[in-house]
Structure 1
Amino acid sequence: MSTLVLKRTTSNDLDFKALVVELDKDLKIRDGEEHSFYAQFNGIDTINHVVVGYINQLPVGCGAVKEYNAETMEVKRMFVPLFQRGKGIASQVLVELEAWCKELGYKECVLETGLKQPEAIALYKRNGYHIIPNYGQYVGVENSICFNKLLTLNVFFNRL
């Protein structure tokens, strides 16, 4: 397998935009009648922290984070096309997003995904995310499941 190359960019990135179009097509099918409710929270006009993954210079996955509050970033727009799944791409994109959040001084990531997205639920559990009560606009939404992960800083202390 070729090496995955990760690029930090913004929501203006054309490869990110193309992947998001594919993501939205998939979500429209999965979400059915609820798609318009979820779509209103998934705009990408001004996301300043986007990661796009490439294999052989072809975009094969993406994810983004945006500020939720002063200490927390919200993970958004995670996607890997079906034919690229099972290669660990989403986990690598997520790890890069978390590293970026830590560099920016954030202490936690939160996210929402749908119960109709079992692959996403498995991804987040595999990467140390824990189910939390639905937050913000997702409170009371039966088909939403929310997660968080505390971002630990790798700090080593010298003992005297």
Structure 2
Amino acid sequence: MQLVRTTSDSPDFQYLTKLFDTFLIDIDGDEKDFFAQYNQIYIPNVVICYEDGIAVGCGAIKTYDEKTGEIKRMFVHPEHRNKGIAMSVLQELETWAKELAFTSCILETSHKLVNAIALYQKFGYQPIPNYGQYIGVASSVCLKKELQ
């Protein structure tokens, strides 16, 4: 397994996020267009996980405010799940967040993504009120972690 830091311009990141967007159609249903508008942005801090030279997972972190990074676009290809890829990507994103002088990370996920929520909670993320564009979105679960 190899983790590579890059940007959202990476063709491998774009490939994985297209798979993720297809996956999310079933999750988000009628809200898919609402969420999609926030995912078509340039992100300078992307981590891609490669296994035998193949991109199998990704995640990104973008600035939310001066002290807070927002974890975005966490995804592992379905054929490569349960191998610790998401944990490795999340750890690398948190390391990068500290290097960027963030003191905390926030994220939003769907209440339907129970495994993702469990992963984040295992890493110390705690529920917070919905923030930003997710205020009032019943299907959103927002979490935060103070970085050490």
- Measured against the shorter chain, the TM-score band is over 0.9
Unaligned runs of 5+ in 2: none
Q: Deviations over 1:32-71 (max 9, x none)?
A: 1111111111123x20000000010111100001000000
Deviation at 1:81, TM superposition (A): 1.1
Partners of 2:32 and 2:116 in 1: CA distance: 17
Task: Select the residue among 19, 22, 33 that pairs with 1:36.
Answer: 33
Identify the residue that residue 123 of structure 2 maps to in structure 1.
127
- What is the distance in 1 between the residues matched to 2:117 and 2:37? 21
Matched, 1:26 2:26: no
- Show the counterpart of 1:155: none
C-alpha displacement at 1:29, in angstroms?
Answer: 1.3
How far 1:104 moved relative to its partner? 1.2
Give 4+ residue runs of structure 1 displaced > 2 Å after superposition: none
Determine the structure 1 residue equivalent to 2:114.
Answer: 118
The total of aligned residue pairs comes to 148
Q: TM-score, normalised by structure 2?
A: 0.97
Structure 1 runs not aligned, ≥5 long: 153-160
Distance 2:57 2:122 in 1: 18
- 2:9 corresponds to 1:12: yes
2:23 partner SS: helix
* Residue 83 of structure 1: how far off its partner (Å): 1.1
> How many percent identity over aligned positions?
51
Structure 2 distance, partners of 1:124, 1:138, is 18
Between the aligned partners of 2:54 and 2:110, the Cα distance in structure 1 is: 28
CA apart distance, 1:120: 1.2
The aligned runs of 1:47-126 (5 Å cut-off) are 47-126=43-122
TM-score (norm 1): 0.90
- Structure 2: distance between partners of 1:47 and 1:118: 26
How far apart, CA to CA, are the structure 1 residues paired with 2:13 and 2:138? 29
In structure 2, distance between residues paired with 1:118 and 1:82: 15
The CA distance in 1 between the partners of 2:125 and 2:87, in whole Å, is 12
Which protein shows a greater Rg?
A: 1
CA distance in 1, matches of 2:18, 2:124: 28
